[in-house]
Amino acid sequence: MLNDEMKKIMEDSRPDGWVLEPRAKKLLSLAGLKTPNHAWAKDEAQALKKAAKIGYPVVAKVVSPQVVHKSDVGGVAVGIEDDEQLKEACARFAAMDGYQGVLVEEMASGVEVIIGSKNDEQFGQVVLLGIGGTAVELYKDTVLRLAPIEPSQANQMIHELKGSRLLTGFRGSEAVNLEALAQTVSSFSKLVDELGEEVESIDLNPVMCTPDQCLIADARIMLAGQE
Protein backbone atom coordinates (compact mmCIF):
# COMPACT_ATOMS: atom_id res chain seq x y z
CA MET A 1 0.00 0.00 0.00
CA LEU A 2 1.06 3.58 -0.62
CA ASN A 3 1.86 5.30 2.67
CA ASP A 4 0.83 8.87 3.52
CA GLU A 5 4.16 10.34 2.40
CA MET A 6 3.81 8.66 -1.00
CA LYS A 7 0.21 9.85 -1.38
CA LYS A 8 1.32 13.39 -0.53
CA ILE A 9 3.98 13.29 -3.27
CA MET A 10 1.35 12.21 -5.81
CA GLU A 11 -1.01 14.97 -4.66
CA ASP A 12 1.70 17.64 -4.82
CA SER A 13 2.51 16.54 -8.38
CA ARG A 14 -1.01 16.58 -9.82
CA PRO A 15 -1.01 20.29 -10.85
CA ASP A 16 2.18 19.71 -12.89
CA GLY A 17 0.87 16.60 -14.64
CA TRP A 18 4.07 14.74 -13.78
CA VAL A 19 6.31 14.07 -10.81
CA LEU A 20 9.44 16.24 -10.64
CA GLU A 21 12.65 14.20 -10.46
CA PRO A 22 13.48 14.88 -6.77
CA ARG A 23 9.92 13.95 -5.75
CA ALA A 24 9.97 10.87 -8.00
CA LYS A 25 13.25 9.76 -6.41
CA LYS A 26 11.77 10.26 -2.94
CA LEU A 27 8.76 8.12 -3.91
CA LEU A 28 11.05 5.40 -5.26
CA SER A 29 13.20 5.36 -2.12
CA LEU A 30 10.06 5.05 -0.01
CA ALA A 31 9.30 1.95 -2.12
CA GLY A 32 12.73 0.51 -1.27
CA LEU A 33 14.56 1.46 -4.48
CA LYS A 34 18.06 2.99 -4.44
CA THR A 35 19.07 6.35 -5.89
CA PRO A 36 22.44 8.12 -5.94
CA ASN A 37 22.97 10.43 -2.97
CA HIS A 38 21.22 13.68 -3.92
CA ALA A 39 19.43 16.76 -2.67
CA TRP A 40 16.98 19.32 -4.01
CA ALA A 41 18.65 22.72 -3.57
CA LYS A 42 16.35 25.71 -3.85
CA ASP A 43 19.14 28.19 -4.71
CA GLU A 44 22.85 28.45 -5.44
CA ALA A 45 23.89 28.75 -1.79
CA GLN A 46 22.05 25.54 -0.91
CA ALA A 47 23.48 23.81 -3.98
CA LEU A 48 27.05 24.63 -2.91
CA LYS A 49 26.35 23.35 0.58
CA LYS A 50 24.89 20.06 -0.73
CA ALA A 51 27.80 19.58 -3.13
CA ALA A 52 30.28 20.01 -0.27
CA LYS A 53 28.38 17.36 1.66
CA ILE A 54 28.22 14.90 -1.26
CA GLY A 55 31.78 15.68 -2.45
CA TYR A 56 32.89 16.60 -5.98
CA PRO A 57 32.47 15.52 -8.74
CA VAL A 58 28.69 15.96 -8.76
CA VAL A 59 25.87 16.16 -11.29
CA ALA A 60 23.52 19.16 -11.36
CA LYS A 61 20.09 19.09 -13.00
CA VAL A 62 17.44 21.73 -13.42
CA VAL A 63 14.20 21.18 -11.51
CA SER A 64 11.26 22.68 -13.40
CA PRO A 65 7.73 21.49 -14.15
CA GLN A 66 8.29 22.94 -17.65
CA VAL A 67 11.34 20.80 -18.34
CA VAL A 68 10.43 17.15 -18.80
CA HIS A 69 13.46 16.23 -20.94
CA LYS A 70 16.29 17.97 -19.15
CA SER A 71 19.27 17.31 -21.44
CA ASP A 72 17.28 18.53 -24.47
CA VAL A 73 17.48 22.05 -23.05
CA GLY A 74 20.93 21.84 -21.46
CA GLY A 75 19.43 21.13 -18.06
CA VAL A 76 21.97 18.46 -17.00
CA ALA A 77 25.63 19.08 -16.14
CA VAL A 78 27.66 15.94 -15.32
CA GLY A 79 31.14 15.80 -13.85
CA ILE A 80 31.07 19.15 -12.07
CA GLU A 81 34.48 19.45 -10.40
CA ASP A 82 34.27 22.53 -8.19
CA ASP A 83 32.21 25.42 -6.82
CA GLU A 84 32.90 27.60 -9.87
CA GLN A 85 31.47 25.04 -12.32
CA LEU A 86 28.49 24.45 -10.05
CA LYS A 87 27.76 28.19 -9.84
CA GLU A 88 27.91 28.37 -13.64
CA ALA A 89 25.37 25.53 -13.98
CA CYS A 90 23.10 27.07 -11.32
CA ALA A 91 23.08 30.42 -13.14
CA ARG A 92 22.19 28.71 -16.41
CA PHE A 93 19.36 26.70 -14.81
CA ALA A 94 17.95 29.69 -12.91
CA ALA A 95 17.18 31.38 -16.25
CA MET A 96 15.09 28.42 -17.47
CA ASP A 97 11.28 28.38 -17.67
CA GLY A 98 9.59 27.37 -14.43
CA TYR A 99 12.87 27.08 -12.47
CA GLN A 100 12.30 25.51 -9.03
CA GLY A 101 15.84 24.78 -7.99
CA VAL A 102 18.68 22.39 -8.72
CA LEU A 103 19.07 18.70 -8.05
CA VAL A 104 22.64 18.10 -6.88
CA GLU A 105 23.66 14.47 -7.14
CA GLU A 106 26.54 12.11 -6.65
CA MET A 107 28.13 10.80 -9.87
CA ALA A 108 27.12 7.20 -10.56
CA SER A 109 28.56 4.75 -13.06
CA GLY A 110 27.98 1.20 -14.23
CA VAL A 111 26.12 -0.74 -16.91
CA GLU A 112 23.12 1.35 -17.91
CA VAL A 113 19.68 -0.20 -18.15
CA ILE A 114 16.22 1.25 -18.52
CA ILE A 115 13.26 0.16 -16.43
CA GLY A 116 9.88 1.51 -17.42
CA SER A 117 6.15 1.05 -17.18
CA LYS A 118 3.16 1.93 -19.30
CA ASN A 119 -0.50 1.70 -18.42
CA ASP A 120 -1.99 -0.24 -21.32
CA GLU A 121 -5.76 -0.02 -21.78
CA GLN A 122 -6.01 -3.71 -22.53
CA PHE A 123 -3.29 -5.27 -20.37
CA GLY A 124 -2.88 -2.90 -17.43
CA GLN A 125 0.56 -1.97 -16.13
CA VAL A 126 3.26 -3.35 -18.43
CA VAL A 127 6.85 -3.25 -17.14
CA LEU A 128 9.84 -3.00 -19.46
CA LEU A 129 13.47 -3.86 -18.84
CA GLY A 130 16.00 -2.85 -21.48
CA ILE A 131 19.71 -2.56 -22.11
CA GLY A 132 21.18 0.78 -22.89
CA GLY A 133 20.10 3.82 -20.91
CA THR A 134 20.66 6.73 -23.27
CA ALA A 135 21.43 4.31 -26.14
CA VAL A 136 18.26 2.25 -25.59
CA GLU A 137 16.85 3.16 -29.03
CA LEU A 138 20.05 1.91 -30.60
CA TYR A 139 19.96 -1.56 -29.07
CA LYS A 140 16.20 -2.22 -29.27
CA ASP A 141 16.82 -4.88 -26.64
CA THR A 142 13.90 -4.97 -24.23
CA VAL A 143 11.61 -7.46 -22.48
CA LEU A 144 8.10 -6.89 -21.15
CA ARG A 145 6.06 -8.40 -18.30
CA LEU A 146 2.82 -7.52 -16.59
CA ALA A 147 3.08 -6.03 -13.08
CA PRO A 148 3.44 -7.22 -10.36
CA ILE A 149 6.67 -9.16 -10.96
CA GLU A 150 8.38 -11.43 -8.42
CA PRO A 151 12.21 -11.32 -8.19
CA SER A 152 12.48 -14.79 -9.79
CA GLN A 153 10.47 -13.59 -12.82
CA ALA A 154 12.58 -10.44 -12.99
CA ASN A 155 15.64 -12.67 -13.04
CA GLN A 156 14.18 -14.49 -16.06
CA MET A 157 13.63 -11.13 -17.77
CA ILE A 158 17.31 -10.27 -17.29
CA HIS A 159 18.34 -13.53 -18.95
CA GLU A 160 15.94 -13.01 -21.87
CA LEU A 161 17.73 -9.83 -22.94
CA LYS A 162 19.88 -10.37 -26.04
CA GLY A 163 22.62 -8.41 -24.33
CA SER A 164 22.25 -10.17 -20.98
CA ARG A 165 25.98 -10.90 -20.95
CA LEU A 166 26.62 -7.19 -20.45
CA LEU A 167 24.97 -7.79 -17.08
CA THR A 168 26.03 -11.36 -16.31
CA GLY A 169 29.70 -10.76 -17.16
CA PHE A 170 31.42 -10.46 -20.53
CA ARG A 171 35.08 -10.94 -21.55
CA GLY A 172 36.51 -10.48 -18.13
CA SER A 173 34.11 -7.75 -17.06
CA GLU A 174 32.49 -8.54 -13.75
CA ALA A 175 28.78 -9.36 -13.50
CA VAL A 176 26.52 -6.71 -12.03
CA ASN A 177 24.60 -7.54 -8.86
CA LEU A 178 21.83 -9.54 -10.56
CA GLU A 179 19.96 -10.06 -7.31
CA ALA A 180 19.85 -6.30 -6.75
CA LEU A 181 18.67 -5.73 -10.32
CA ALA A 182 15.93 -8.37 -10.04
CA GLN A 183 14.86 -6.89 -6.71
CA THR A 184 14.80 -3.39 -8.26
CA VAL A 185 12.56 -4.56 -11.13
CA SER A 186 10.31 -6.42 -8.71
CA SER A 187 9.94 -3.56 -6.19
CA PHE A 188 9.36 -1.13 -9.06
CA SER A 189 6.63 -3.34 -10.53
CA LYS A 190 4.86 -3.53 -7.18
CA LEU A 191 4.97 0.24 -6.78
CA VAL A 192 3.60 0.66 -10.31
CA ASP A 193 0.82 -1.79 -9.52
CA GLU A 194 -0.11 0.18 -6.39
CA LEU A 195 0.02 3.55 -8.13
CA GLY A 196 -2.51 2.14 -10.61
CA GLU A 197 -4.31 4.13 -13.26
CA GLU A 198 -3.27 7.50 -11.90
CA VAL A 199 0.10 6.94 -13.57
CA GLU A 200 0.35 6.90 -17.35
CA SER A 201 4.01 5.91 -17.66
CA ILE A 202 7.30 5.79 -15.78
CA ASP A 203 10.84 5.90 -17.14
CA LEU A 204 13.79 5.04 -14.94
CA ASN A 205 16.53 5.93 -17.41
CA PRO A 206 19.31 5.37 -16.76
CA VAL A 207 19.53 2.83 -13.95
CA MET A 208 23.25 2.30 -13.24
CA CYS A 209 24.20 -1.28 -12.32
CA THR A 210 27.50 -2.30 -10.71
CA PRO A 211 28.70 -5.49 -8.99
CA ASP A 212 27.45 -3.89 -5.77
CA GLN A 213 24.13 -2.23 -6.50
CA CYS A 214 21.59 -0.67 -8.89
CA LEU A 215 21.07 3.08 -8.61
CA ILE A 216 18.26 4.97 -10.30
CA ALA A 217 19.98 8.01 -11.81
CA ASP A 218 16.85 9.49 -13.43
CA ALA A 219 13.12 9.02 -12.87
CA ARG A 220 10.22 10.46 -14.84
CA ILE A 221 6.66 9.71 -13.73
CA MET A 222 3.94 10.96 -16.07
CA LEU A 223 0.40 11.20 -14.64
CA ALA A 224 -2.73 10.13 -16.48
CA GLY A 225 -5.34 12.52 -17.81
CA GLN A 226 -2.91 15.00 -19.38
CA GLU A 227 -3.27 15.94 -23.03
Select from 62, 205, 216, 223 the one that contacts Mg ion (CB under 5 A): 205
Bridge partners (DSSP) listed for residue 61: 76, 103
For residue 89, the minimal CB distance to ligand ADP (Å) is 13
- Min dist CB 91 to ligand ADP, Å, is 19
* Cβ atoms of residues 209 and 199 within 8 Å: no
Kindly tell me which of 25 and 155 has the beta carbon lying closer to Mg ion. Answer: 25
Distance CA 40, CA 182 (A): 28
Which partner in Mg ion, ligand ADP, none is near 76 (CB below 5 to 8 A by kind)? ligand ADP
Decide: is 183 part of the binding site for Mg ion (CB under 5 A): no
Instruction: In whole angstroms, give the CA distance from residue 187 to residue 117.
Output: 13
- 108 or 181, CB closer to ligand ADP? 108
33 and 216 Cβ atoms separated by less than 8 Å: yes
Contact (Cβ atoms closer than 8 angstroms) between residue 223 and residue 17: yes
Catalog residues that contact ligand ADP under the rule CB under 6 A: 36, 59, 61, 69-71, 76, 78, 105, 107-108, 133-134, 206, 217-218
For Mg ion, the closer CB: 117 or 155 = 117
User: Which of 44, 106, 141, 218 is the binder for Mg ion (CB under 5 A)?
Assistant: 218
For residues 63 and 20, the answer to whether their CB atoms sit within 8 Å is yes
**Minimum CB distance to ligand ADP smaller for 78 or for 146:** 78
Decide if 134 contacts 112 (C-beta within 8 A).
Answer: yes
